[in-house]
Amino acid sequence: MSIAIIYSSRTGNTQELATVIKQLFQLHGVMADCLPVNGLPLSTIKAYTGIIVGTYTWGDGEIPPEMVPLYHAFENQEVAHLTTGVIGTGDSFYPHFCGAVDAFRDMFYVHTSLAVTMKVELSPQLSDMEKCRRFVGLFLEKYEKVKKQSEWVVNETC
């Protein structure tokens, strides 16, 4: 299992959320790379079997500029084998709360095996921890399901 949590954070809220998710994976015995978007060569995303994108929302519900190349990389690479998830932080004061999460969700639904998404108001609070635990649990369930399906396909074609 090779999982990456790729994030962008302007205020530190999304980075904090990505760190919480990484720690929860560790409690399940799963190591995950936690990388800022500018710390990952885009050509390496297909080498993972699971990817979680963590993003804040920019402007009027838009993907932040530094995340756009990552978004396009998922659209243009062969990533159907990936189990994916999206996490994001935002302020519900704005009309498109965590709009970037929605944009990645919709794209992942088409190009990958989307497992789960999660939106957090501003920064993760103690009250968000159960939601974070459910996120990781659902991601791992989907990951195992996809893994079994791909093993079945390999066995059936041999």
Output the pTM of the full model. Answer: 0.91
Residues 88 and 55 sit within 8 Å (Cβ to Cβ) = yes
68-87 pLDDT per residue, tens? 999 999 999 999 999 999 99
Residues 34 and 17 sit within 8 Å (Cβ to Cβ) = no
Domain assignment of residue 63, given as a range: 3-157
Determine the Cα–Cα distance for residues 34 and 52; give it in Å rounded to an integer.
9
Question: Could you tell me the CATH number of the domain that includes residue 49?
Answer: 3.40.50.360
Tokens found for residue 85: 């998830």
Domain count, the chain: 1
129-141 pLDDT per residue, tens? 999 999 999 999 9
CA–centroid distance for 112 within its chain: 11
